[in-house]
A and B are shown apart, each in its own frame.
Chain A
Amino acid sequence: ELKVEQNPLFLSMQEGKNYTIYCNYSTTSDRLYWYRQDPGKSLESLFVLLSNGAVKQEGRLMASLDTKARLSTLHITAAVHDLSATYFCAGVLPGKIIFGKGTRLHILP
């Protein structure tokens, strides 16, 4: 059974700082997704990671995947207030897409 755990679940950080959100999953996953959700809004796809060692970057966000460790990370560089949101990772097996509970990120000016 695929389980996906994110940590931390809540994160308050200062603008300009760097931080990493971790996503651990319990069994082999076909791929790993990262999403952003603003309060009261829908989900926005950030990254799709397909293979071991995959690294993708968009602006101040960088995601990586280590399939041997069953770990994906979302790294935030020099955080800005606009990045305040909830971030979800999700793992995939045939017929299943399992989401983590999300990391609520609050960036203080």
Chain B
Amino acid sequence: NAGVTQTPKFRVLKTGQSMTLLCAQDMNHEYMYWYRQDPGMGLRLIHYSVGEGTTAKGEVPDGYNVSRLKKQNFLLGLESAAPSQTSVYFCASSSTRGGKDEQYFGPGTRLTVT
């Protein structure tokens, strides 16, 4: 049981390049989330998904797209990276089964855009 995994762990992009971050969970959770964390800040929600095939915007969605084609995977795409997207990205998943509603976080992806 790996929990929540993220790929890659580190990445450096040039301005204008594109990339996809992959999040996978093996806990059969319905909900999945993408956050970004900047120095001295809490996490900010980018996009989230309440189930396979559904996605919704969070607090800071501009410049990002997501897809959830399979329940266990949630992809975050940057079509044209900008230096303002330099950040640490965390994926999380959760389930309301059993009334727990606890979020499990992945290890993070450190992205630098030059």
A45-B104, A97-B58, A98-B59 known; 14 other A-B pairs, CB under 8 Å? A33-B103, A41-B108, A42-B106, A42-B108, A43-B43, A43-B92, A88-B42, A90-B42, A95-B57, A95-B58, A96-B59, A97-B33, A99-B42, A100-B42
Please count the residue pairs between chain A and chain B whose beta carbons lie under 8 angstroms apart in the complex.
Answer: 51
Q: Specify which chain A residues have a CB less than 8 angstroms from the CB of B99 in the assembled complex.
A: 50
Write the residues of chain A forming the contact surface with B, with a CB cutoff of 8 angstroms. 4, 31, 33, 41-45, 48, 50, 88, 90, 95-102
From B42, which residue of chain A is reached at the shortest CB distance? A99
B101, A96: Cβ atoms closer than 8 Å:
no
- Interface flag for B51 (CB, 8 Å): no
A43, B45: Cβ atoms closer than 8 Å:
no
Known: A33-B103, A42-B105. A97 touches B45 (CB 8 A): yes
Q: Specify which chain B residues have a CB less than 8 angstroms from the CB of A88 in the assembled complex.
A: 42-43
Q: Specify which chain A residues have a CB less than 8 angstroms from the CB of B101 in the assembled complex.
A: 31, 48, 50
Q: Mark B93-107, 1 if CB is under 8 A from A, else 0.
A: 000000111111111
Q: Specify which chain B residues have a CB less than 8 angstroms from the CB of A31 in the assembled complex.
A: 101
- Interface flag for B41 (CB, 8 Å): yes
Minimum CB–CB distance from A108 to chain B (whole Å) comes to 22
> Please, could you name 18 A-B residue pairs with CB atoms under 8 Å apart, sorted by A?
A31-B101, A41-B107, A42-B90, A43-B43, A43-B90, A45-B103, A48-B102, A88-B42, A90-B42, A90-B43, A95-B48, A96-B59, A97-B48, A97-B58, A99-B44, A100-B42, A101-B41, A101-B42
Q: Mark B22-44, 1 if CB is under 8 A from A, else 0.
A: 00000000000100000011111
Contact partner of A48 (CB less than 8 A), chosen from B58, B100, B105, is B100
